[in-house]
Amino acid sequence: MGFDPNYEAYDYDGPIFTYGNLLPDQVILNVQRALADLDYYNGALSGSLSAATRYAISAYQQDNGLVVNGVVDAPLVYSLGLQ
């Protein structure tokens, strides 16, 4: 469901916390933008949960006392002020 069975490599296949009726890629894009503004992320603003995005999320989580899991979850979104 939601995955193309002929495509073998997705950036991430876990749950993404969403808010405001946004699609997951829009939430990821907002997270990337917020992390870039805070100098945690310097990759392309793609809406894709790439390895670079996960690394930036983990670094931000570590520095801000959040559970370090590298995923877009509610504590991350709220901490970034994106709700």
* Mean pLDDT of all residues in 8-15: 61
> What is the pLDDT at residue 82?
95
* Mean pLDDT of all residues in 5-27: 75
Q: How many CB atoms lie within 10 A of CB 3?
A: 8
Give me the numbers of helices (H) and strands (E) for the chain, helices first please. 3, 0
> What is the pLDDT at residue 62?
98
Confidence of residue 1 (pLDDT cuts 50, 70, 90): very low
Residue 19: alpha-carbon gap to chain centroid: 13
Contact (CB, 8 A) for 10 and 18: no
**pLDDT tens digits for 27-74?**
999 999 999 999 999 999 999 999 999 999 999 999 999 999 999 999
